[in-house]
Amino acid sequence: MRKFTLLFAMVLFVGGAFAQTTKSTPATKGSGETFYLQTFDWGNPADPKGWTAPDGFYFEDFLDVGFNWEWWPPGDSLNASWTHEPALQSNTPDDGYLCNFVDLYNTEAGTEQNLDNTVVFPPFDCSDKTSVIVRYLTHFMCYSVSHMYLEISVDDWVHSAIYDVSFGTGHKDRPNDAAPGQPAVFEANITDVAAGMPNVLMKLHWLDTRLYFWLVDDFELAEAYDNDLRIKHFTVEWDNGDPDSKEAFTYMIPKSQLDGTGGYFNWEASVMNFGEMDQEDVYLDLTITKNNEVIWEKTTDPWFVVPILEIDTAQIADKFVPEDFGHYKVHMDFKQTQEEQTPENDEVDFFFHVTDSIYSRSDDTSELAWSMTFESYGTDLTANEDYFSGSIFPIRGDCEVNSISVYIQGGLADGLIEYQFQLYYVPVGEEDETPIKWLVSPDIITLDSSMFNTWVTLPFDKDGESEFLKAGDLVYAGISQWNWHENHLLRRNYGLQIGTDRTVQQVETSSVSIYEGGIRTGLGDFFGKRNLMCRLNINDHSNIIDNVDVSSAISSLGQNYPNPFKQTTEISYELANGSNVMIEVMDLSGRQVMEVNEGFKPAGKHTKVLNVGNLDAGIYFYTLKADGFTETKRMIVSD
């Protein structure tokens, strides 16, 4: 799991091609160097509005509504009727950032008017560049649609290339499901448009929305590496025996739910050539390890070549059928003939587990806190009563269910929000397949802040019969809430939140919501596209010991971001168990140049902002040591 996930843009050309503009002949190829960086340090107390844009920047308001992009002070949150966001945690948070806060403008004006705004950058001279990469940090939320573009012209806007920078988001989505205040990285290779051109114009364009916000910081242009493959997406299915349906990834599956034929298959990943050179003999390598030993390995046949800026998808259809208790690590890695200069961008790790009692579609770390009343609050209601959301669990083996666990992340703990864990039974194959409330936890509990950021487990109120499920059953396990706030904005903005996981892209929905007599699910639905952190716990304790070193099996070290970087970078890591943590940095000769003692850290995901101070530009290696776990990755300090 990576906090900063890259977006690769789609591009359209408007007004024809750029054939009439002559490119210069660049002198040398690039090696990833940044040649322009704008951190939006625009604060100016002498200016009546508090800030001044540098020469060359200008702003367009095509609808003449009177609001537009502006500089937003460092550390300031965003608060309006429908928006409550913390400050953006960019690489340069002390400089401020670029902001279009349409919700604030409409709140103050007492209206809801759509916008059509741009911020136009000064011209860039790319005549000596053989490649051009554009990247920036961002966070946003849109209402209904996400018409967000980076527009580029090399002939004074006679023609333009338009890049979709919306991350594929829909109504109330965030880029890559980034948590509030956390940036996502937009990155596009614009070599075919900008390289060798003396007058490159760029603008960010937002239109057709009337609510929420768009934040941008650390806008930079860089040269590409020669050899740079990037994984764009990865996914895997569970084979449920039905060729006409798909089933999403399961993170924890009890051994009693393994039928000997079901397993993980259709392993898929796409790769983009982000570098300057065609990549030859590219193939996908897939390994599964248990106890740190490879137990299954598959590869695709090599492609002849992946040209510059093209995307190819690889699939391994073979099925891995887990049989024994254990903790399994999946490693997917694209490889090629040339020496890869950014290997951390073309590989990914994720995990699954065979347990005795825990059945979970999600992993243990939340990427985004989610509240169903953020969408289902109802302006004409005075309360939200018995609003259920949970995970979908097919039952493949007879079992007795004991309890439900839900990762609760937040909400307004003022005594007016209550919850209960519930199990719904779906009468599959019956004339009426409406889900039936089947089992519930004994009490309705008042939300308390001591429950935040923890797994809460509540047992069922058993009757000696309903808790016994049969192979072929289908159930929903999750949490139902009662939100008694009469103000709909309180219900919307501060409803009960549970964790969501987006480690593995879903091929089918694994979540469902039930409220006001309706059922909401499906990947295209606000309620069905999240992988909710809800567990169904089975009465089985047969796994006394599975001979697995859990620390070595599921602890992991993430790739630093940004990389390359000049002074500060962020390192993420995940611990299976609470451990004493040490981070060491070494140069190419193996000499230790830094040591950071993190002290004791609990199990879970952590980040460390590393300041390399006066280290010389070059390649370094950082190592995480956490009791019995050790892992090393490469990072680059730039000039």
Task: Give per-residue pLDDT as tens, 227-256.
Answer: 999 998 899 999 998 989 999 999 999 999
In the prediction, which pLDDT does 619 show?
A: 81
In the prediction, which pLDDT does 118 show?
A: 97
pLDDT band at 575 (very low <50, low <70, confident <90, very high): confident
CB 131 within 8 A of CB 224: yes
Tens of pLDDT, residues 388-436: 999 999 999 999 999 999 999 999 999 999 999 999 999 999 999 999 9
**How many Å apart are CA 52 and CA 39, to the nearest integer?**
13
Task: Look at residue 540 and tell me whether its pLDDT is greater than 80.
Answer: yes
Q: How do 511-515 and 384-394 pair as beta strands?
A: antiparallel
In the prediction, which pLDDT does 148 show?
A: 95
Task: Look at residue 560 and tell me whether its pLDDT is greater than 80.
Answer: yes
Give residue for tokens 């950082």. 622
CB 407 within 8 A of CB 454: yes
Q: For the residues 320-334, what does the mean pLDDT come to?
A: 93
Task: Look at residue 24 and tell me whether its pLDDT is greater than 60.
Answer: no
Radius of gyration from C-alpha coordinates of the chain = 26
Neighbour tally for 617: CB within 10 Å: 11
Distance from the first to the final alpha carbon of the chain: 29
Question: Considering the domain 229-355 in this protein, what is its CATH number?
Answer: 2.60.40.10
Tens of pLDDT, residues 105-125: 888 888 888 899 999 999 999
Task: Look at residue 446 and tell me whether its pLDDT is greater than 70.
Answer: yes
Q: Shortest CA distance to 339 belongs to which of 284, 279, 283? A: 279
**How many Å apart are CA 235 and CA 505, to the nearest integer?**
5
Name the token pair of 421.
Answer: 């864990």
Domains of the chain by residue range: 6-222, 229-355, 368-538, 555-637
Tens of pLDDT, residues 254-311: 999 999 899 999 999 999 998 889 999 999 999 999 877 899 999 999 986 888 888 8
In the prediction, which pLDDT does 484 show?
A: 97
Class of CATH domain 6-222: mainly beta
In the prediction, which pLDDT does 32 show?
A: 85
In the prediction, which pLDDT does 48 show?
A: 96
pLDDT band at 18 (very low <50, low <70, confident <90, very high): very low
How large a percentage of the chain has pLDDT more than 90?
A: 66
In the prediction, which pLDDT does 11 show?
A: 54
Task: Look at residue 535 and tell me whether its pLDDT is greater than 70.
Answer: yes
More confident site: 545 or 186: 186
- DSSP for residue 558: P
Q: For the residues 357-382, what does the mean pLDDT come to?
A: 93
**How many Å apart are CA 545 and CA 634, to the nearest integer?**
36
What mean pLDDT is reported for the chain? 89
**How many Å apart are CA 187 and CA 133, to the nearest integer?**
7
Tens of pLDDT, residues 579-590: 889 999 988 767
Q: Shortest CA distance to 620 belongs to which of 608, 636, 638? A: 636
CB 379 within 8 A of CB 445: no
Task: Look at residue 135 and tell me whether its pLDDT is greater than 90.
Answer: yes
* Least confident span in 372-376, 486-490, 585-589, 591-595: 585-589
CB 215 within 8 A of CB 99: yes
**Structural domain 555-637, CATH architecture:** Sandwich (2.60)
> What are 267's strand-pairing partners?
316
Name the token pair of 507.
Answer: 């091929």
* Least confident span in 163-167, 188-192, 624-628: 624-628
Task: Look at residue 146 and tell me whether its pLDDT is greater than 60.
Answer: yes
Q: Shortest CA distance to 219 belongs to which of 442, 69, 333, 25? A: 69
In the prediction, which pLDDT does 545 show?
A: 52
CB 117 within 8 A of CB 69: yes
229-355 with 555-637: one CATH topology? yes
More confident site: 600 or 167: 167
More confident site: 2 or 224: 224
Q: Is the dihedral of CA 441, 497, 428, 437 positive or negative?
A: positive
pLDDT band at 492 (very low <50, low <70, confident <90, very high): very high
Q: What angle do CA 95, 97, 100 make, to 5 degrees?
A: 160
Tens of pLDDT, residues 203-224: 999 999 889 999 999 999 999 9
| Residues with Cβ within 8 Å of residue 47, at least 6 apart in sequence | none
In the prediction, which pLDDT does 466 show?
A: 96
Q: Shortest CA distance to 142 belongs to which of 185, 194, 82? A: 82
| Residues with Cβ within 8 Å of residue 237, at least 6 apart in sequence | 246, 247, 248, 249, 264, 265, 266, 507, 508
Q: Helix, strand, coil % (nearest 5) of the chain?
A: 5, 45, 50
pLDDT band at 607 (very low <50, low <70, confident <90, very high): confident
pTM value is: 0.82
In the prediction, which pLDDT does 554 show?
A: 64
Please write down the long-range contacts of 349-353, taking CB distance under 8 Å and 24 or more positions apart. Answer: 349/556, 350/1, 350/503, 350/504, 351/251, 351/327, 351/553, 351/554, 352/249, 352/250, 352/251, 352/252, 352/253, 352/264, 352/322, 352/328, 353/251, 353/252, 353/253, 353/326, 353/327, 353/328, 353/554
**How many Å apart are CA 140 and CA 163, to the nearest integer?**
17
Task: Return the amino acid letter for 619.
Answer: I
The DSSP annotation for 333-357 comes to EEE-SSPPS-GGGSEEEEEEEEESS
CB 253 within 8 A of CB 355: yes
**How many Å apart are CA 131 and CA 276, to the nearest integer?**
7
Q: For the residues 590-596, what does the mean pLDDT come to?
A: 85
pLDDT band at 542 (very low <50, low <70, confident <90, very high): confident
Task: Look at residue 319 and tell me whether its pLDDT is greater than 50.
Answer: yes
pLDDT band at 5 (very low <50, low <70, confident <90, very high): very low
In the prediction, which pLDDT does 8 show?
A: 44
In the prediction, which pLDDT does 544 show?
A: 61
| Residues with Cβ within 8 Å of residue 559, at least 6 apart in sequence | 2, 344, 345, 633
HEC letters along 401-421? EEEEEEEEEECCCCCCEEEEE
**How many Å apart are CA 511 and CA 530, to the nearest integer?**
7
pLDDT band at 65 (very low <50, low <70, confident <90, very high): confident
Please give the helix or strand (H or E) that residue 373 lies within, else none: helix 373-376
* Least confident span in 16-20, 153-157, 212-216, 607-611: 16-20
Name the token pair of 283.
Answer: 């193939």
